[in-house]
Amino acid sequence: MAFPRALVVDGQQRLTTLSLALAALRDHVKADDPDWASDISRRFLVNSRTQGDDAVKLMPTQADRATYKAYITATPPIADESKVGVAYRFFLAKLAEVVESQDQPPIEKIEEAIISRLTLVEVSADERDNVYRIFQSLNNTGLDLTQADLLRNYLFMHLPTRGEAVYENLWTPLQKRLDPKQIEHLIWLQLVLDGENRVRRQDVYRAEQTRFAATDRSETVYEAYVHELVRRSMHYQTMANPTLERNTAVRDALATLRRWDADVTAPLIILLLDYRERGLATNEQVARALGYIESHLVRRMICRIPSAGLNRSFTDLPGQLTDGVLVDEDIHQLLSAERRAWPTDAELLDAILAKPFYHYGRANQRTFVLRRLEESYGHPEPIDFATAKLTIEHVLPQTPGPEWLAVLAEDARDGEDPLDLHARIKHTLGNLTLTAQNSKLSNQPFQRKQDLLAYSHLELNQRIAATERWGAAEIEQRGRDLAKAAIDLWPAPLPRAGRSERGKDWSLLHQALAALPPGAWTTYGDLAALIGSAAQPVGAHLAQSTGVTNAWRVLNSVGRVAENFRWTGEDRGDVLEVLRTEGVRIDEKTKKADPEQRLSADDLASLLDLGDDTGGCP
What would you report as the CA-atom Rg of the chain, rounded to the nearest whole angstrom? 28
Q: How many residues does the chain have?
A: 618
pLDDT at 59: 78
Count the alpha carbons within 13 Å of 298 in the hemisphere toward its beta carbon. Answer: 29
Single-letter residue type at 514: A
Do the Cβ atoms of 219 and 227 come closer than 8 Å? no
pTM: 0.71
DSSP string, 45-100: IB-TT--GGGGBS---SSS-HHHHHHHHTT-PPTT--SHHHHHHHHHHHHHHHHHH
pLDDT at 504: 64
**Phi, psi angles (nearest 5°) of residue 581:** -60, -35
pLDDT at 242: 97
Cα-to-chain-centroid distance, residue 298: 14
Do the Cβ atoms of 260 and 368 come closer than 8 Å? yes
pLDDT at 442: 77
Beta-carbon contacts of residue 171 (< 8 Å; ≥ 6 apart) = 152, 156, 226
pLDDT at 136: 45
Q: List C-alpha distances in Å: 229 to 114, 173, 225, 269, 334.
A: 37, 12, 6, 15, 27
pLDDT at 382: 81
pLDDT, tens digit (0-9, with 9 covering 90-100), for 25-37:
999 988 888 899 9
Pairing of strands 554-555, 522-523: parallel
Q: What is the H or E stretch that residue 433 is in?
A: strand 432-435
pLDDT at 357: 96
The β-bridge partners of 391 are 435
Q: List C-alpha distances in Å: 209 to 159, 166, 194.
A: 15, 19, 14
- Domains for the chain: give ranges and CATH numbers: 12-117 (no CATH), 147-345 (no CATH), 362-489 (no CATH), 507-607 (1.10.10.10)
Pairing of strands 432-435, 391-394: antiparallel
pLDDT at 3: 64
The β-bridge partners of 593 are 586
CA–CA dist 25, 111 (Å, integer): 8
Cα-to-chain-centroid distance, residue 258: 18
User: Would the CA dihedral through 381, 387, 388, 392 be positive or negative?
Assistant: positive
CA–CA dist 231, 223 (Å, integer): 12
Categorise residue 493: left if φ over 0, alpha if ψ from -120 to 50, beta otherwise. beta
Low-confidence residues of the chain, pLDDT below 50? 130-133, 136, 141, 497-498, 612-618
pLDDT at 128: 60
pLDDT at 137: 54
Q: What is the H or E stretch that residue 394 is in?
A: strand 391-394
Q: At what angle do helices 402-411 and 472-489 cross, to 10 degrees?
A: 80
CA–CA dist 148, 536 (Å, integer): 55
